[in-house]
Structure 1
């Protein structure tokens, strides 16, 4: 049973049978921008390069590591990035995630207490101009979805228009238990480093 999270909602990562979640995936699916030709004829598609990234922080909110298209695995291998998608779905929504970041809590460095997921538009293409762009945070693998925890439709969300960066959500440890804060907030940042700093200052 998928939990439809509201923005700002917090949940514990415990399944209905009481077992703790071990493997989390964050998948992003998006489309290319359609450019109409003269009088509506001969339109073209403009590739869209969105980048999902994951920032790891310790209990003092100090940044330990960032997993992104230039660093596809964390040092302990617990966080893995599927690789950089530079175009989005050029032929319409194929239903598959363009980029997936996986997180295995069982092998995560014990010093890490906050795991933040952010999204940036690499070429500065406004989220509001992308025909479809959705995010889902779920239990499973890149090829299998078991249970969805949060979904965001950023292409059709009025608050995302005019922005090229957002904080998707943060997993955090409290009293030895991992919990999830569904943030879903656009930021005024332009680059990944700025978004990571925003997370550090405002969301941890």
Structure 2
């Protein structure tokens, strides 16, 4: 049963059968913006470049690695990014994630205590204008969804209108068990570096 994440909600990583989740995917799906043509005739599609990124921290909340479109794999190989999608779905919602970051908790360096996920609109396009933008957290691989663990709706939430960056949430280790803090808050940042700094200062 998928949980619709509420802001500030903390969840333990257990599947419906009670087993712990070891391989998590964070997938982002979105569409191109539809614009009316000249003099109101027809429509055109404007490409949208959303960027999912992941920041890894140690127990002292020191940044140790960032996985993003320019660095697709963490140093320990446990976090992988599917690659940069520069356009979004141009022909309507195909139901597939445009970018996926996978985390193998068993493969993470033992020094990593926080795994934070952020989302940035690379060209500064307002989240409130981007069709069917959504996040889902699930067990599986980028091409196979075993069990959807949680979903988060960006497109239909007024909270994100007027913003171009957000903190999705943070996985954190407590007593050797991984938990998830659903943050879901827009930030005033414009770029990834700024958003990571905001996570470091406010969300760990």
Short-chain TM bin: over 0.9
Question: Structure 2 length as normaliser, TM-score?
Answer: 0.96
Alignment match, 2:49 = 49
- Which residue of the partner structure matches residue 162 of structure 1? 162
Q: Map of 1:31-180 to 2, 5 A cutoff? A: 31-180=31-180
Cα-to-partner distance string for 1:119-144 (whole Å, 9 max, x where unaligned): 00000001011122011111111112
**Unpaired segments ≥5 residues, structure 2:** none
Question: Contact 1:150–1:182 at 8 Å: present in 2 too?
Answer: no
Q: Number of residue pairs matched?
A: 204
* 1:15 CA drift (Å): 2.5
Q: Which residue of 2 aligns with 1:193?
A: 193
Question: CA separation in 2, counterparts of 1:17 and 1:35?
Answer: 46
Q: 1:144-203: CA deviations, max 9, x gaps?
A: 222223212212210100000000111000111100011111100000000001101111
Q: Please identify, of 142-151 and 190-199, the stretch whose mean Cα deviation from structure 2 is larger.
A: 142-151
Report which stretch shifted further, 163-172 or 33-42.
33-42
Please tell me whether the aligned partners of residues 5 and 149 of structure 1 are also in contact (alpha carbons under 8 angstroms): no
Residues in 2 aligned to 1:68 and 1:121: alpha-carbon distance in whole angstroms: 13
RMSD: 1.1
Task: Give the conservation status (yes or no) of the 8 Å contact 1:25–1:102.
Answer: yes
Task: Output the TM-score relative to the length of structure 1.
Answer: 0.96
